[in-house]
Amino acid sequence: MTDGTTTGAAGPATRTTRDLAKAATSGWLGTAMEFMDFQLYSLAAAIVFNQLFFPDVSPAIGLIAAMATYGVGYVARLAGAIYFGRMGDRIGRKRVLYLTILLMGASTTLIGVLPTYATIGILAPILLVVLRLVQGFGAGAEIAGATVMLTEYAPVRRRGLISSLVSLGTNSGTLAASGIWAILLAVLTEEQLLSWGWRLPFLLSFLLMIFAVWLRRSLKESPVFEERPDVVDGRALSRSELAEDQAGSVLEAGLRQRKGRAFFLALGLRLGQAGNSGLVQTFLVGYVATTLLVDRSVPTDAIVYGSVLGFVTVPVVGLLGDRFGRRPVYVAFSALTAVLAFPLLLMITSGSTVALVIGMVLALNIGVLGLFAMESVTMAELFGSRTRFTQLALAKEVGGILTTAIGPVLAATLTAVTGSWWPIAAMLVVYSLITLVSALLAPETRGRDLVRLEDAA
């Protein structure tokens, strides 16, 4: 195990370019599936679920209820992060990624065959919440596992670029889900959409699940996990086992390090991206349609356009992180989001369709995708290899609960009470400033040896 932090490569040279390509494809595909599933759900919650599962309340209350069913999945994600994160640190990343993809795909497909309120009454929203919980439990470790796997596979000098494929996966999933909904809104009547059209996106996700499961069956384990000095025969030794092992003294620094600082720094980095995502990709779609009374296809199309642009934004940000370091790029994007929050919301609510689309595209690429491209690699590099999966998953999911889950519900409530859009902009500023401060406090992690057991902070 090396002690350098700037030039050492992560793990032994036991993986071929083909192995890296397979890991990259697997990580991209799994993350794409996760975000497609969740974006399908979030758009359905914003567009039709209030009518299908909460038809006996006012539109504003129905939107709040639909956003709440969207948010409960993040509670299950936290449970999944704890359960699968520990499993991934103990027995390896590969096995966990195989299980999470199965859970996500099965629950999403079942949402597509769920009876509505008109058919079975109150049992319909109850079953919707149950499936959302199962979906969240599987998703709780999916993106963390894909992030860890890609980061640990990547060559040290291109770690930011290759890890950004996780962000491209989220972007691909968002684009696919938004594109499917945009097509449905364009070609189906309101009656067709509410009777059967909304089911199609959920049923189509089954095909993606089958391909992802097939691909992950032949994926090799992370080279960093195999290189860890506390891993014997594919399993990490417990503390008691290490105490009895002669190599235990070698691991003393990594095991005795006080945990906490790296986790809270990672959590702060997460809040900006996750909070902005919940507002831009979820809440604004419903707000524009139900409160501003703009045709629902307009904000959905804006997310599609923004996601397409994201295929340029994400790798460019990854390359910038490899060239200049993680901290300066984080600082630049979080500061820019805070400065532009109110101007962008003025554009979105101006009444001009063109301004609305441009505003949402910029908000998505600067405040969400740009930050996400840096988040993928930086959070993984902050943690030591013994607890990387668990801490990364927890930081992502706690951050998701505090922002992406609660944020849309809070935004719906505040905009309903104030009758204005300014709370949305204010929330964007707060989220971005938290990330800005965290980036300034965090150490530079570019080039860190990922086999090291201790955290970077």
Distance CA 191, CA 195 (A): 6
Query: Where residue 407 falls among pLDDT bands split at 50, 70, 90?
Result: confident
Residues in the chain: 457
Q: What is the pLDDT of residue 218?
A: 76
- The least confident of 9-23, 27-41, 210-224, 298-312 is 9-23
pLDDT at 56: 62
Per-residue pLDDT at 14 exceeds 60: no
Give the model's pLDDT for residue 9. Answer: 40
**Alpha-carbon gap, residue 77 to 84, rounded angstroms:** 10
**Which residue, 281, 270, 276, is CA-closest to 305?**
281
Those residues whose C-beta lies under 8 Å from the C-beta of residue 439, and which sit 6 or more positions away, are 269, 326, 327, 330, 331, 334
pLDDT at residue 373 tops 80: yes
| Exposure letters 241-269 (e unless 16+ CB within 10 A, then b) | ebeeeeebeebeebeebeeebbbebbbbb
Torsion angle of the four alpha carbons 348, 352, 357, 363, in this order, in degrees rounded to the nearest 10: -20
The contacts of residue 192 (CB under 8 Å, 6+ apart) are: none
In this predicted structure, the answer to whether residue 12 has a pLDDT above a threshold of 60 is no
Report the distance separating Cα 406 and Cα 268, nearest Å.
16
Which pLDDT value is given to residue 52? Answer: 78
pLDDT confidence tier of residue 60, bands split at 50, 70 and 90? low
Contact between 44 and 300 under an 8 Å Cβ cutoff? The reply is no
Task: Give residue 167's pLDDT band: very low, low, confident or very high (50, 70, 90).
Answer: confident
- Tokens for 224, please give them: 């960093």
CA angle centred on 203, ends 282 and 283, rounded to 5°: 5
pLDDT, one tens digit per residue, over 258-314 is 678 999 999 999 999 999 998 998 788 888 888 887 887 788 788 889 988 999 999
Stretch 397-413: mean pLDDT? 86
Averaged pLDDT score across all residues of the chain = 83
Q: Are 380 and 164 in contact (CB under 8 A)?
A: no
**Confidence bin at 123 (pLDDT 50/70/90):** confident
143-157, 276-290, 373-387, 427-441 — which one is most confidently predicted on average? Answer: 427-441
Q: Is 450 exposed, middle or buried (0-12, 13-18, 19+ CB in 10 A)?
A: buried
Going by pLDDT thresholds of 50, 70 and 90, the confidence category of residue 61 is: low
Look at residue 103 and tell me whether its pLDDT is greater than 90: no
pLDDT value for 245 = 57
Q: What pLDDT, on the 0 to 100 scale, is given for residue 401?
A: 83
Range with the poorest average pLDDT among 67-71, 91-95, 354-358, 390-394:
67-71
Contacts of 96 (CB under 8 A, 6+ apart): 84, 87, 88, 141, 145, 389
Question: How much is the pLDDT for 221?
Answer: 84
Q: What is the pLDDT of residue 335?
A: 96
Q: Which whole number is the average pLDDT over 80-91? A: 92
- The answer, yes or no, to whether residue 112 has pLDDT greater than 90, is no
Asked if the model's pLDDT at residue 394 lies above 90, the reply is yes
pLDDT for residue 78 is more than 60: yes
Q: What is the gyration radius of the CA atoms in the chain, in angstroms? A: 21
Mean pLDDT, range 15-26, rounded to an integer: 77
Kindly state the average pLDDT of the residues 94-123. 85
**What is the pLDDT at residue 7?**
34
What pLDDT score does 358 carry?
Answer: 95
pLDDT at 442 over 50: yes
For residue 198, pLDDT over 60 is answered with yes
Domains and CATH numbers, the chain: 17-222+257-441 (1.20.1250.20)
Q: What own/partner pairs with CB < 8 Å and gap ≥ 24 does 10-14 have?
A: 10/151, 10/152, 10/154, 10/156, 10/159, 10/223, 10/224, 10/449, 10/450, 10/451, 11/152, 11/222, 11/223, 11/224, 11/226, 11/227, 11/450, 11/451, 12/223, 12/226, 12/227, 14/223, 14/226
